[in-house]
Every structure is written in structure tokens, then in C-alpha cells.
Amino acid sequence: MTDPSTELAPLRRQVADACRVLAARELAPGYLGHVSLRIDAQRVLVRCRGPHERGLARTSPQDIHLVTLDGAPGAPGELQGWSPPNELPLHTEVLRTRPAVDAVVHAHPEAVVAADLAGLGIRPIVGAFDMPGAKLAHAGVPVYPRAVLVRNRALAAEMVAAMGSRPVVVLRGHGLTSTGAAVPEAVLNAVSVDRIARLSLTVVSAGGRLQDLPETDMAELPDLGGAFNHDTAWRHELARLA
């Protein structure tokens, strides 16, 4: 890549849009949270902090910078006046150990934190309401039980171990980490987990009891494919920003 500032412009825009989607969905309503995208074996694009931080809802491509897995500038001039997130190891340890993952989201959705602290796991309580979410929950959403800032490789390795092979892990008292083969998938996985957490809290607050979808109903849920689950859903999220 001879000119990362030009060649990577569409990807910087995509990562910036992802941050704005997280804010619009209230998964990262303030200035905490970040999105990363693998560029090659040693470098990632990630939302960084500059001297005029405005929060995820105001993220622009100028906030997205190329860094190495160790947090050094990924190209000349990339970090002048900018700093990678303290929790960069949260992203890079996932990318080091999960070759099929190219995008990582870290967010602080209040509903996910509250549901976990209330003892409500992310369970397949819905079906056709959110089919990707139902399948994600049915296969399990693990919990990393430490409410720490994941700011070094040792803590990140603990989180990755808790995550296992799953696309999302809840971070107790903290938020979540979500992954995907691309940025839209990582964001949409996080949105689904948050949606189920919100519904769980609503059901319990109304005096109801959470019940998993019967296996016979799970078996009837079709896979509508990436063109619908990811492409169409992502266009919708971008349209909502407008």
C-alpha cells in the first residue's frame, strides 16, 4: 500500500460509519467504544482519539487510523496528534488468534450490562423477530466475568479464552466485544445481542419469565443469507444515520 491515506479511504469511512451506527443504536452513546478492521497480517484500522474528541456519534474518517498490532503507526504520519484506544489489545488479541475474524467491535450497551448483572443471559427468547439474533443466542453468548479495562495482552487473552469460538462475548460490568468477517457483521451481531438484552429486561420488568424458543421452532428458522442478513441490514443502518 503505497498511499494508505488514499487507498484506505473507503475502509476508513466504513469503520467511521460503524461507530456512528453503534451510537445511533445506543450501544456506545458517549465517547467510549471503538471498531477495528484488519488490513493485513500486522496492521489494523481503528478508531483513535484526537485532541477534539466528540464521541462515537460524531466519528469521521479522520478519526480512523492505521496502526500495527502493537499500537505503533502503521504508516508515516498516521498517529500525529492521535492515540490508539487503551483497549487496543482487546482488538488485536482477537485478530491474532481468530484468523477468520477481520472486524472487532467494542461497545458499552447499558442493556447488555444490566441484563448480565441481573443474571439474565443472552438466550434465544425470540424467533422470526430477529432470526440472526435467535441463532446467535441459541449457540451461546459467553461472559468474561472480569469488569476490567482490557488494556494488555494478558487480560485480552483471558477475554479471548472466555469468548472461545463464539462471535460475541459479554464483558461483565463493562460491555461487549463482537466480531465478524467484516465490519457490518460485527456491528449487527452486537445490535442483535443488545436487542435481546433489552427484550429480556422488558419481559422480566413486566413480571414475565424468560423462555427459550422450542427446538422445533428453531429448526424452522431459515437462513436468509448474507445478502439479506448483512447487506440489506447494513444499508438500513446507514440509512437510519441520514
Q: Which residues are catalytic?
A: 87
β-strand 103-107 against 64-68: which pairing, if any? unpaired
What are the distances in angstroms from CA 110 to CA 77, 114, 174? 36, 6, 9
Q: How far apart are CA 206 and CA 44, in angstroms?
A: 44
The alpha-helical segments, DSSP class H, found in the chain are: 4-7, 9-24, 88-97, 110-117, 131-139, 153-163, 183-205, 215-220, 226, 233-241
Question: How far apart are alpha carbons 85 and 75 in whole angstroms?
Answer: 17
Q: Provide CB contacts within 8 A for 184, sequence distance 6+.
A: 18, 230, 231, 233, 234, 237
Place of cell 443469507: 225
